[in-house]
């Protein structure tokens, strides 16, 4: 039986640290352009209580999403110990393409996958490079696509990259801007023949959902909250309460569906790597997932968190978290051979996905 196995991982964590204290001089406005009638310190304290974010990382001026994506990809290739020329596909997930510093214009021509293939120096024309847009779940969706190509016999080795520079598309007058950060994560997956009697490794199952009714525009591009801003310039906007309600309602069931698809019980799961969107939201999703199994006591250390220091880097959160754990860089968390992990994400579209994987 052919299984898709993760052979290597990599991540790029930007060096520029932006703490909550850095936002105390900001004037925040509501989406109706009224100034928020609260001291910035109070707004920031409430923000940290809800999201868990203490600081976030921004990419330095000379870098962009393609460059940091390349760095994460290079690490993953080295970790997998493969010849880059042997890759059959390069799949790059992002939402905004390349956004130059001091600019709000997105650039995705050529695709980020093509740029990363170019900077990796891969000459093989049969290595197909393409981008996907799927909101924050984009990297996981790239993994699901690679798994499908491998199981269909079309590909044997794939590189999947998630990269984002959200700091360049945020509205500084919107308190939600404090959530977002920059980063990149990547993995190399490979076809592996699992013989009879061997315990199944690799991707065991997946699930994906798209709700495109009224949910479609819960995350969208819109004008600044500042009343005198140029209405032609658009920034990332989020209906926070709507996103929270959507995620808490639909993500736990999608995660259970994924486990059901491979007959894995929640008791077998050692780690749940969920999109680092909001600490309270992620905690709520985990509680509801376990309640679907009639369990109220959540096992300790099952949900690693990176959001406190890295913020929400969208597509990059799950692959970065995976890389940190695999390489022993996240305190108290590790993975051992045979461990079952569940990776899940939710984001713009609105889209949800999950992957069950045995190490």
What is the sign, positive or negative, of the torsion defined by CA atoms of 333, 165, 4, 115? negative
Task: Determine how many CB atoms are found less than 10 A away from the CB of residue 265.
Answer: 10
Distance of CA 188 to the CA centre of its chain: 16
| Residue 193 pLDDT | 87
What is the sign, positive or negative, of the torsion defined by CA atoms of 138, 144, 147, 153? negative
Region label for 243, one of left (φ > 0), alpha (ψ between -120 and 50) or beta (otherwise): alpha
To 5 degrees, how large is the angle CA 226–CA 55–CA 25?
Answer: 40
What are the structural domains of the chain? Answer: 2-193 (3.40.47.10), 202-358 (3.40.47.10)
Match 């860089």 to its residue by tokens: 329
| Residue 195 pLDDT | 67
Whole-model pTM: value is 0.95
pLDDT averaged over 10-residue windows placed end to end, the chain, 359 residues? 95 97 91 90 92 96 97 98 98 96 87 98 98 97 98 96 96 94 98 74 96 96 93 92 96 97 95 95 96 94 96 97 96 93 97 97
Task: Determine how many CB atoms are found less than 10 A away from the CB of residue 47.
Answer: 18
* Cα gap 161→165, rounded to integer Å: 14
Contact 226, 173 (CB under 8 A): yes
| Residue 102 pLDDT | 82
| Residue 242 pLDDT | 96
């Amino acid at each position: 039986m052919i299984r898709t196995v993760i052979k290597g991982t990599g991540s790029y964590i930007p060096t520029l640290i932006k703490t909550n204290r850095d936002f105390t001089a900001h004037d925040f406005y509501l989406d109706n352009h009224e100034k928020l009638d609260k001291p910035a310190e109070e707004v920031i304290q409430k923000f940290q209580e809800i999201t868990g974010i203490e600081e976030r990382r921004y990419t330095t001026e000379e870098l962009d999403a393609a460059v940091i994506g390349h760095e994460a990809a290079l690490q993953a290739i080295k970790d997998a110990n493969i010849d880059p020329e042997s890759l059959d596909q390069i799949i790059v997930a992002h939402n905004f393409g390349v956004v130059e510093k001091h600019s709000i214009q997105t650039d995705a021509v050529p695709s980020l996958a093509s740029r990363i293939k170019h900077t990796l120096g891969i000459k093989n024309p049969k290595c197909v490079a393409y981008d996907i847009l799927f909101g924050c779940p984009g990297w996981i969706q790239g993994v699901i696509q690679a798994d499908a190509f491998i199981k269909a016999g079309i590909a044997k080795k794939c590189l999947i990259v998630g990269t984002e520079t959200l700091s360049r598309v945020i509205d500084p007058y919107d308190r939600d801007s404090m959530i977002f950060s920059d980063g990149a994560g990547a993995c190399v997956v490979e076809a592996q023949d699992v013989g009879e009697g061997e315990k199944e490794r690799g991707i065991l199952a997946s699930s994906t959902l798209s709700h495109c009714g009224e949910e479609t525009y819960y995350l969208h591009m819109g004008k600044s909250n500042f009343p005198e801003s140029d209405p032609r310039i658009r920034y990332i906007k989020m209906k926070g309460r709507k996103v929270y309600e959507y995620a808490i309602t639909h993500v736990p069931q999608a995660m259970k569906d994924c486990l059901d698809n491979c007959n894995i019980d929640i008791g077998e799961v050692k780690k749940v790597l969920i999109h680092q969107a909001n600490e309270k939201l992620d905690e709520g999703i985990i509680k509801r997932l376990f309640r679907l199994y009639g369990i109220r006591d959540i096992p300790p250390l099952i949900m690693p968190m990176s959001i406190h220091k890295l913020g929400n880097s969208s597509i990059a959160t799950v692959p970065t978290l995976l890389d940190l754990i695999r390489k022993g860089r996240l305190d108290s968390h590790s993975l051992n051979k045979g461990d079952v992990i569940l990776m899940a994400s939710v984001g713009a579209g609105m889209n949800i996905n999950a992957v069950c994987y045995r190490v």
